[in-house]
Chain A
Amino acid sequence: EVQLVESGGVVVQPGGSLRLSCAASGFTFDDYTMHWVRQVPGKGLEWVSLISWSGATTHYADSVKGRFIISRDNSKNSLYLQMNSLRTEDTALYYCAKDAYSSSWSWFDPWGQGTLVTVSS
Protein backbone atom coordinates (compact mmCIF):
# COMPACT_ATOMS: atom_id res chain seq x y z
CA GLU A 1 0.00 0.00 0.00
CA VAL A 2 1.30 3.42 -0.97
CA GLN A 3 1.55 5.57 2.14
CA LEU A 4 2.78 9.05 3.00
CA VAL A 5 3.13 10.12 6.62
CA GLU A 6 3.95 13.73 7.48
CA SER A 7 5.41 14.91 10.76
CA GLY A 8 7.01 17.94 12.34
CA GLY A 9 4.09 20.31 12.62
CA VAL A 10 4.07 22.37 15.83
CA VAL A 11 3.25 25.81 17.17
CA VAL A 12 6.06 28.24 16.31
CA GLN A 13 6.51 31.98 16.77
CA PRO A 14 6.57 34.39 13.83
CA GLY A 15 10.06 34.57 12.41
CA GLY A 16 10.84 31.06 13.57
CA SER A 17 11.89 27.97 11.64
CA LEU A 18 10.57 24.47 11.30
CA ARG A 19 11.33 21.35 9.27
CA LEU A 20 8.53 19.10 8.08
CA SER A 21 9.16 15.50 7.08
CA CYS A 22 7.21 13.05 4.95
CA ALA A 23 7.99 9.34 5.14
CA ALA A 24 7.04 7.39 2.02
CA SER A 25 6.42 3.68 1.68
CA GLY A 26 4.82 1.21 -0.69
CA PHE A 27 6.35 2.58 -3.88
CA THR A 28 9.74 3.32 -5.45
CA PHE A 29 10.23 6.76 -3.94
CA ASP A 30 13.00 7.92 -6.26
CA ASP A 31 10.84 7.30 -9.33
CA TYR A 32 8.54 10.25 -8.61
CA THR A 33 8.28 13.99 -8.27
CA MET A 34 6.96 14.95 -4.83
CA HIS A 35 4.97 17.97 -3.65
CA TRP A 36 3.96 19.95 -0.60
CA VAL A 37 0.44 21.39 -0.62
CA ARG A 38 -1.11 23.35 2.24
CA GLN A 39 -4.60 24.12 3.43
CA VAL A 40 -5.72 26.67 5.96
CA PRO A 41 -8.31 24.82 8.06
CA GLY A 42 -11.72 25.27 6.48
CA LYS A 43 -10.25 26.88 3.36
CA GLY A 44 -8.98 25.79 -0.04
CA LEU A 45 -5.81 24.12 -1.29
CA GLU A 46 -2.57 25.93 -2.11
CA TRP A 47 0.36 24.25 -3.84
CA VAL A 48 3.62 25.10 -2.06
CA SER A 49 6.55 23.35 -3.70
CA LEU A 50 7.73 20.42 -5.81
CA ILE A 51 10.94 18.46 -6.23
CA SER A 52 11.86 16.12 -9.06
CA TRP A 53 12.91 12.52 -8.48
CA SER A 54 16.60 13.36 -8.27
CA GLY A 55 16.21 16.62 -6.41
CA ALA A 56 17.77 18.51 -9.30
CA THR A 57 14.60 20.46 -10.04
CA THR A 58 12.65 22.41 -7.44
CA HIS A 59 9.89 24.98 -7.74
CA TYR A 60 8.06 27.14 -5.22
CA ALA A 61 4.95 29.21 -4.90
CA ASP A 62 5.76 32.92 -4.80
CA SER A 63 4.30 33.09 -1.30
CA VAL A 64 7.11 30.91 0.09
CA LYS A 65 9.97 31.51 -2.35
CA GLY A 66 13.16 32.48 -0.57
CA ARG A 67 11.84 31.26 2.80
CA PHE A 68 11.07 27.55 2.27
CA ILE A 69 13.40 24.86 0.95
CA ILE A 70 12.19 21.50 -0.33
CA SER A 71 14.54 18.54 -0.30
CA ARG A 72 14.51 14.78 -0.38
CA ASP A 73 16.66 11.87 0.75
CA ASN A 74 15.96 8.98 -1.58
CA SER A 75 18.06 6.63 0.57
CA LYS A 76 15.59 7.24 3.41
CA ASN A 77 12.41 7.48 1.26
CA SER A 78 11.82 10.88 2.80
CA LEU A 79 10.69 14.32 1.70
CA TYR A 80 11.38 17.49 3.67
CA LEU A 81 10.25 21.09 3.84
CA GLN A 82 12.53 23.53 5.66
CA MET A 83 10.40 26.52 6.64
CA ASN A 84 12.21 29.72 7.65
CA SER A 85 11.07 33.24 8.51
CA LEU A 86 7.62 31.90 9.28
CA ARG A 87 4.64 34.23 9.12
CA THR A 88 1.18 33.96 10.62
CA GLU A 89 -0.18 33.41 7.12
CA ASP A 90 1.85 30.19 6.88
CA THR A 91 -0.48 28.62 9.44
CA ALA A 92 -2.01 25.61 7.67
CA LEU A 93 -2.23 21.86 7.38
CA TYR A 94 0.69 20.77 5.22
CA TYR A 95 0.23 17.72 2.99
CA CYS A 96 2.89 15.86 1.08
CA ALA A 97 1.72 14.29 -2.13
CA LYS A 98 3.16 11.98 -4.74
CA ASP A 99 3.11 12.94 -8.39
CA ALA A 100 2.47 10.58 -11.29
CA TYR A 101 5.66 11.70 -13.08
CA SER A 102 9.37 11.62 -12.26
CA SER A 103 10.86 14.76 -13.82
CA SER A 104 7.75 16.73 -14.61
CA TRP A 105 4.49 17.26 -12.72
CA SER A 106 0.87 16.30 -13.13
CA TRP A 107 -1.64 15.02 -10.62
CA PHE A 108 -1.28 14.24 -6.93
CA ASP A 109 -1.92 10.75 -5.66
CA PRO A 110 -1.86 9.83 -2.92
CA TRP A 111 -1.80 12.58 -0.30
CA GLY A 112 -0.62 12.16 3.25
CA GLN A 113 -2.85 12.91 6.22
CA GLY A 114 -1.19 16.27 6.80
CA THR A 115 0.72 17.92 9.62
CA LEU A 116 -0.51 21.13 11.24
CA VAL A 117 1.78 24.15 11.42
CA THR A 118 0.60 27.03 13.59
CA VAL A 119 2.52 30.29 13.53
CA SER A 120 1.51 32.37 16.50
CA SER A 121 3.03 34.47 19.25
Chain B
Amino acid sequence: DIVMTQTPLSLSVTPGQPASISCKSSQSLLHSDGKTYLYWYLQKPGQSPQLLIYEVSNRFSGVPDRFSGSGSRTDFTLRINRVEAEDLGVYYCAQSIQLPLTFGGGTKVEIK
Protein backbone atom coordinates (compact mmCIF):
# COMPACT_ATOMS: atom_id res chain seq x y z
CA ASP B 1 0.00 0.00 0.00
CA ILE B 2 1.11 3.57 -0.63
CA VAL B 3 1.63 5.34 2.69
CA MET B 4 0.81 9.03 2.77
CA THR B 5 2.59 10.98 5.51
CA GLN B 6 1.46 14.48 6.41
CA THR B 7 3.25 17.07 8.48
CA PRO B 8 2.63 18.81 10.73
CA LEU B 9 -0.12 17.03 12.67
CA SER B 10 -1.54 20.38 13.67
CA LEU B 11 -1.10 24.03 12.87
CA SER B 12 -2.26 27.18 14.62
CA VAL B 13 -2.42 30.14 12.28
CA THR B 14 -3.23 33.82 12.70
CA PRO B 15 -5.79 35.08 10.18
CA GLY B 16 -4.06 36.75 7.27
CA GLN B 17 -0.91 34.70 7.69
CA PRO B 18 0.21 31.92 5.35
CA ALA B 19 0.11 28.23 6.14
CA SER B 20 1.74 25.23 4.56
CA ILE B 21 1.11 21.48 4.84
CA SER B 22 3.44 18.78 3.57
CA CYS B 23 2.45 15.38 2.21
CA LYS B 24 4.94 12.68 1.30
CA SER B 25 4.02 9.43 -0.44
CA SER B 26 5.94 6.17 -0.10
CA GLN B 27 5.86 5.70 -3.89
CA SER B 28 5.79 8.05 -6.85
CA LEU B 29 2.31 9.27 -7.74
CA LEU B 30 3.38 10.11 -11.31
CA HIS B 31 1.55 7.87 -13.77
CA SER B 32 2.79 6.89 -17.21
CA ASP B 33 -0.06 9.00 -18.61
CA GLY B 34 1.77 12.07 -17.32
CA LYS B 35 -0.71 12.86 -14.56
CA THR B 36 0.13 12.84 -10.88
CA TYR B 37 -2.72 11.42 -8.81
CA LEU B 38 -2.50 13.50 -5.65
CA TYR B 39 -5.45 15.30 -4.08
CA TRP B 40 -6.20 17.56 -1.11
CA TYR B 41 -9.42 17.53 0.91
CA LEU B 42 -10.65 19.72 3.75
CA GLN B 43 -13.00 18.44 6.41
CA LYS B 44 -14.53 21.35 8.28
CA PRO B 45 -15.87 20.69 11.80
CA GLY B 46 -19.04 18.61 11.68
CA GLN B 47 -18.97 18.32 7.90
CA SER B 48 -18.04 15.77 5.26
CA PRO B 49 -14.72 16.17 3.46
CA GLN B 50 -14.66 18.43 0.42
CA LEU B 51 -12.24 18.42 -2.50
CA LEU B 52 -9.85 21.36 -2.69
CA ILE B 53 -7.13 20.35 -5.15
CA TYR B 54 -6.88 17.58 -7.73
CA GLU B 55 -3.82 16.29 -9.60
CA VAL B 56 -1.40 18.22 -7.40
CA SER B 57 -2.19 21.78 -8.38
CA ASN B 58 -5.66 22.15 -9.90
CA ARG B 59 -8.10 24.05 -7.73
CA PHE B 60 -11.54 22.45 -7.74
CA SER B 61 -14.59 24.47 -8.71
CA GLY B 62 -15.39 27.18 -6.18
CA VAL B 63 -12.15 26.83 -4.21
CA PRO B 64 -10.66 30.25 -3.38
CA ASP B 65 -7.40 31.14 -5.09
CA ARG B 66 -5.65 31.54 -1.73
CA PHE B 67 -5.32 27.73 -1.85
CA SER B 68 -2.54 26.32 -4.00
CA GLY B 69 -0.91 22.94 -4.44
CA SER B 70 2.53 22.02 -5.66
CA GLY B 71 4.99 19.17 -5.77
CA SER B 72 5.95 16.16 -7.80
CA ARG B 73 6.43 12.40 -7.58
CA THR B 74 6.54 11.86 -3.81
CA ASP B 75 6.67 15.31 -2.21
CA PHE B 76 3.70 17.65 -2.18
CA THR B 77 2.63 20.85 -0.47
CA LEU B 78 -0.67 22.60 0.12
CA ARG B 79 -0.35 26.33 0.77
CA ILE B 80 -2.93 28.77 2.03
CA ASN B 81 -1.84 32.24 1.02
CA ARG B 82 -3.71 34.18 3.70
CA VAL B 83 -5.61 32.04 6.14
CA GLU B 84 -9.19 32.99 6.89
CA ALA B 85 -11.33 31.88 9.82
CA GLU B 86 -13.39 29.60 7.55
CA ASP B 87 -10.28 27.58 6.66
CA LEU B 88 -10.21 25.76 10.00
CA GLY B 89 -10.57 22.01 9.88
CA VAL B 90 -8.59 18.91 9.04
CA TYR B 91 -6.73 18.73 5.73
CA TYR B 92 -6.06 15.36 4.11
CA CYS B 93 -3.93 14.44 1.15
CA ALA B 94 -4.87 11.33 -0.84
CA GLN B 95 -3.66 9.24 -3.78
CA SER B 96 -5.42 7.25 -6.48
CA ILE B 97 -2.54 5.91 -8.57
CA GLN B 98 -2.75 2.54 -6.86
CA LEU B 99 -5.33 0.52 -4.98
CA PRO B 100 -6.08 0.65 -2.16
CA LEU B 101 -6.77 4.35 -2.31
CA THR B 102 -5.08 5.90 0.70
CA PHE B 103 -5.20 9.10 2.70
CA GLY B 104 -2.71 10.93 4.84
CA GLY B 105 -3.36 11.04 8.55
CA GLY B 106 -4.61 14.60 8.43
CA THR B 107 -3.39 18.03 9.53
CA LYS B 108 -5.61 19.97 11.90
CA VAL B 109 -5.60 23.69 11.22
CA GLU B 110 -6.72 25.95 14.04
CA ILE B 111 -7.22 29.66 13.88
CA LYS B 112 -5.56 31.78 16.57
Question: Complex formed: what's the CA distance from A46 to B49 in Å?
Answer: 12
Q: Which residue of A lies closest to B105 (CB)?
A: A44
Chain A interface size range: 20 to 34
CB-CB under 8 A from A45, the residues of chain B are: 41, 43, 49, 92, 94, 103, 106
Q: Give B69 Cβ to nearest chain A Cβ, in Å.
A: 12
Instruction: Render B90-103 as a binary contact track against A, CB cut-off 8 A, 1 for contact.
Output: 00101010011111
Which of A47, A107, A110, A114 is B54 in contact with, Cβ under 8 Å?
A107
Instruction: Render B29-52 as a binary contact track against A, CB cut-off 8 A, 1 for contact.
Output: 000000001010101000011110
A44 pairs with B48, CB closer than 8 A: no
Question: Complex formed: what's the CA distance from A110 to B92 in Å?
Answer: 15
CB-CB under 8 A from A62, the residues of chain B are: 100
A47 pairs with B101, CB closer than 8 A: yes
Chain B interface size range: 20 to 34
A59 pairs with B99, CB closer than 8 A: yes
B100 pairs with A109, CB closer than 8 A: no
CB-CB under 8 A from A61, the residues of chain B are: 100
Given contacts A44-B105, A45-B49, A95-B48, contact A107 B96 (CB under 8 A): yes
Binding site for B on A (CB under 8 A): 35, 44-47, 50, 59, 61-62, 95, 100, 105-114
Query: What are 28 A-B pairs at a CB distance below 8 A?
Result: A44-B92, A44-B103, A44-B104, A44-B105, A45-B41, A45-B43, A45-B92, A45-B94, A45-B106, A46-B103, A47-B101, A47-B102, A59-B99, A59-B100, A61-B100, A95-B48, A95-B49, A106-B37, A106-B96, A107-B39, A107-B51, A107-B94, A108-B49, A108-B51, A109-B50, A110-B48, A110-B50, A113-B48
